[in-house]
Amino acid sequence: MTTAIDVRNLTRRFGSFTAVESISFDVRQGEVFGFLGANGAGKTTAIKMLIGLLAPSSGQASVAGFDVSTNPDDVRRHIGYMSQRFSLYEDLTVRENITLYGGIYGLTDSEIRDRGDALIGTLQLGRSSDERVESLPLGWKQKLAFSVAMLHEPAVVFLDEPTGGVDPITRRQFWEMIYTVAERGTTVFVTTHYLDEAEYCDRISIMVDGRIAAMGAPAEVKQRFGAATLDEVFLGLVRPAGVQTPQSA
């Protein structure tokens, strides 16, 4: 198995505050990797470094085989990204958004048309394809954003809280989409607040105060912490009372 994401002692400081402190992990190709942590634990900062929006203070990271510090544009060509805020263009139609991102990633006109048709078919957006995205319900928007992020068939896709605020049925469909792309070999790096979703991941890591406090397959992590659910693990780590943590602030 090849390594899709390789992170070594990655650190990011903002002045005297260390948002991400020397984290190391790797993610295999085709793996669904859950990146968990409380708000402010440093998840978003870590993701921003991996997708080239933020320069690391120290340490190395490579994504899809390219170093994020030295070859950020090669990284960008091989990743997809969907942020927690819906970030397609609300004032463009479904089709126009697809065409725009297809064009940006250098797809040919026929690729844009064919993949766009397939995408609209899968999402059953046929009737809405010429409507502005702002008129779609949130769940549809999120599924569309994910599909658009996959349009150029990236090696790695980063999903930052993709299911925030959507209903359980849509969440379920969303995870089916995630599995589909993972089966096709795309590495999925996903952050979430829903610990039941974390159970769907091949492996997870839990970030606490800028460090990775636990990592492994969900069952492994539960076993190591002697907990019945990931909820317990998470609460124990985030509010360190009795459970040992690498960093008790």
Amino acid, res. 132: R
Does 65 engage in binding with other proteins (CB under 8 A)? no
The pair of structure tokens assigned to 209 is 């105060």
Does 66 engage in binding with other proteins (CB under 8 A)? no
Does 113 engage in binding with other proteins (CB under 8 A)? no
Give the total of residues touching other proteins (CB under 8 A): 29
Query: In terms of CB distance, is 33 or 234 closer to other proteins?
Result: 33
- For the bound state, the minimum distance from the C-beta of residue 216 to other proteins, rounded and expressed in Å, comes to 28
- Among 62, 83, 163, 191, which residue sits at the site for other proteins (rule: CB under 8 A)? 83
**Residue 183 to residue 192: CA distance in whole angstroms:** 20
The pair of structure tokens assigned to 93 is 């139609």
Query: In terms of CB distance, is 105 or 175 closer to other proteins?
Result: 105
Please identify which residue in the block is written with the tokens 């993701």: 47
Query: In terms of CB distance, is 63 or 233 closer to other proteins?
Result: 63
The contacts of residue 30 (CB under 8 Å, 6+ apart) are: 1, 4, 182, 183, 185, 186, 187
Does 140 engage in binding with other proteins (CB under 8 A)? no
**Residue 121 to residue 189: CA distance in whole angstroms:** 25
**How buried is residue 4: exposed, middle or buried, by Cβ count under 10 Å (0-12/13-18/19+)?**
buried
- For the bound state, the minimum distance from the C-beta of residue 1 to other proteins, rounded and expressed in Å, comes to 25
Does 146 engage in binding with other proteins (CB under 8 A)? no
Does 79 engage in binding with other proteins (CB under 8 A)? yes
Sign of the CA dihedral with 111 first, then 112, 115, and 118 last: negative
- Among 1, 15, 16, 91, which residue sits at the site for other proteins (rule: CB under 8 A)? 91
What end-to-end distance do the CA atoms of the chain give, in Å?
37
Does 94 engage in binding with other proteins (CB under 8 A)? no
Residue ranges in 20-49 that form contacts with other proteins under rule CB under 8 A: none
Measured in whole angstroms, how far is the alpha carbon of residue 4 from the centre of its chain?
13
Give residues in contact with other proteins (CB under 8 A): 51-55, 72-73, 76-77, 79, 81, 83, 85-92, 96, 99-106
